[in-house]
Structures are given as C-alpha cells and as structure tokens.
Amino acid sequence: MYLIQDQKKETIAYIENMMILDTNHEHVIGILIGDCFFGHNKKVVGKIINQTVYLINGEIVGKIELNQAYKNTNIKKYIRCYLKFICTNNQTNMQKFYRKNVLRPSFLAN
C-alpha cells in the first residue's frame, strides 16, 4: 500500500492494488491505469511522475510514500468497490485510452 501525502505530510488518500482509496479505506475514489489516474467522471484526472501526483492542470496534489507497516486484511471488500467503480464508469472508454496512450505512445507511431 502507498500513501498520497500532501505538502504538510498528511495522508489524503491511499493506493492499493491500482485503486485510490479515501482516508477511511471505505470508498474507491479513483483507479490507476499505468501512471494515469481516473476519477468518477470517466476522464483522466492526473498523472504520477517521479513519485509526485499531478492534476491535469499541473497542480501538485502530493507525494507517494510506501506504507511498510500496512497489511491488507480485507481485499474482497476492495475488489467489490473496484468492480463497482469500473462498472459505473464505462470501462470501455478507459480501455480505449489505455490502448491508445499507454500501449501505443505517440512517439512510436512515427
């Protein structure tokens, strides 16, 4: 598990199995595909570059830190939340984005 910490070193979200979880570990608030993360609006919200989380507008959200003390005990709950998130956010659009931008970067098209 990874922590997303703001500039004050306060944890604002968690990353677990390519899911972005709220601070209470109750809800999936986004997913990761490659180094891009998606929110509930079916669009790319931001990107992770060198352990730094950026929004699309360039704003720095925070840094990613490894949480070595954490052990996942409720993976089934997260999987259900993840599947619900995917089903309600049109998985096909995310798959198209992934194929276009991650599997076939623009510099390879030339």
Listed by start position, the domains of the chain span 2-108
Query: Does the pLDDT at position 107 exceed 80?
Result: no
Between 8 and 97, the higher pLDDT residue: 8
Q: Where do we find the tokens 């995310």? A: 94
pLDDT tens per residue across span 16-50: 888 888 888 778 888 898 899 888 777 889 999 99
Q: Which residues contact 15 (CB under 8 A, 6 or more apart)?
A: 1, 2, 3, 4, 21, 32, 64
Closest CA to 87 of 42, 45, 47, 35: 42
Q: Given this model, what pLDDT does residue 21 score?
A: 86
Q: Which one of 35-44, 57-66, 78-87 scores highest in mean pLDDT?
A: 57-66
- Binned at pLDDT 50, 70 and 90, residue 74 comes out as low
Torsion angle (degrees, nearest 10) of CA 57, 61, 64, 70: -130
**Average pLDDT, stretch 85-103?**
58
- Percent pLDDT > 70 in the chain is 63
Query: Are residues 47 and 54 in contact, defined by beta-carbon separation less than 8 angstroms?
Result: yes
Query: Does the pLDDT at position 106 exceed 50?
Result: no
Q: How far apart are CA 95 and CA 104, in angstroms?
A: 12
